[in-house]
Amino acid sequence: MLRRLSIAVAGGLLLVSAVAGCGGDDGAAGGGSSGGGDDKITLGFAQVGAESGWRTANTKSIEESAATAGFELKFVDGQGKQENQIKAIRNFITQRVDVIAFSPVVESGWDTVLKEAKDAGIPVILTDRAIDSPDTSLYKTFIGSDFVEEGKKAGEWLVKEYQGKTDTVNIVELQGSPGAAPANDRKAGFADVIKADPKFKVVASQTGQFTRTDGKAVMETFLKSQPDIDVLYAHNDDMGLGAIEAIEAAGKKPGTDIKIITVDAVKDGMTALADGKINFIVECSPLLGPQLMDLVKKVKAGETIPQRVLTEETTFTPEQAKEALPNRKY
């Protein structure tokens, strides 16, 4: 009796999920009926998902700037799955959108579907993340941040800050998730700049997994195992924010006793920067909407555009943070 009931419930659940799945499809297809209008540009955008505040801001920027540019935007959330994005791109092709843009969940496995888009004559733009296909004719351009450059900017600030001093500068580094492009590149760019001067010494470098908890935990251990720490370089704001808690708990003053450099410039990080708890933030901006729309317009008009476009990004000192904070969107 019980077993039969459980089978019934399991079956019911499956049915519900199947129906929900269909619902999702209907939504995407339903939006398609009005696609391909005569003079209005239609942009199909397949997003990664909504996994972080950064991503949410990225989505918002694209939606808002598409509305401002007067484009019709068909937006699909891939929920972190490649197959969802591939399905979405196929839908865009059948709907005959003018331009397809997407932020690939993973680097590989896009050749087939992008070939289909190419055959259909629909130009493709990659945003924020790259693909590893050797065939660069599959997409028109890739717009996103240069993580190596971000690491370099962080290193350059450090070099300037300690200009004219000869004492050894002991640096600890909180890396992002092992193997992730932002972690590898931010480490490499930073190391590249500071290696010119032997007074800069990275005494410890461990992963904080891009999260606050791990940032705090690893910093706690650094503070005990490293007798002398002058500078902390964290690959994102969240790890830096966690580390601030650890530094405060150790009875030291973040920003004064230990100088802190982070990357991202999300709102929480900017607040800490304005409070003087962080000394310098390199921006990694999700707000690439306006630049993307510009590229879409150029691609549609048949103009040639560069294969690689960098997101417009800056860096922040505490004073600049105070100024920028009131209208920080994310």
CB atoms within 10 A of CB 207: 19
Q: Which residue, 47 or 141, is less far from other proteins as judged by CB? A: 47
What pairs with residue 281 in β-bridges? 262, 316
Looking up tokens 């992002």 gives 176
Nearer to other proteins among residue 212 and residue 277 (C-beta): 212
| Phi, psi for 281 (deg, rounded to 5) | -125, 130
Nearer of residues 133 and 205 to other proteins, judged by Cβ: 205
Cβ-based neighbours of 81, under 8 Å, separated by 6 or more: 105
Q: How far is the CB of 184 from other proteins (least distance, A)?
A: 10
Shortest distance in whole angstroms from residue 166 CB to other proteins: 25
Residue corresponding to tokens 């004073």 = 319
Minimum CB separation from other proteins for residue 207, in Å?
5
Residue 209 CB, nearest approach to other proteins (Å): 7
Q: Kindly provide the residue ranges of all beta strands, DSSP E only, lying in 185-327, ordered along the sequence.
A: 200-207, 231-234, 259-264, 280-283, 308-310, 315-316
Burial 284-312 (b: 16+ CB within 10 A, else e): bbbbbbbbbbebbeebeeeeeeeeebebe
Least distance from C-beta 57 to other proteins, angstroms?
A: 10
Least distance CB 205 / other proteins (angstroms): 7
Nearest CB to other proteins, comparing residues 178 and 306: 178
DSSP state of 210: T
The smaller minimum CB distance to other proteins, of residues 136 and 256, is found at 256
For other proteins, the binding residues (CB under 8 A) are 2-3, 5-6, 9-10, 13, 50-53, 56, 175, 178, 204-207, 209, 211-214, 216-218, 220-222, 224-227, 238, 241-242, 245, 249-251, 268
Which one-letter DSSP state was computed for residue 131? -
- Nearer to other proteins by C-beta: 164 or 251? 251
Q: Residue with structure tokens 């997994």?
A: 209
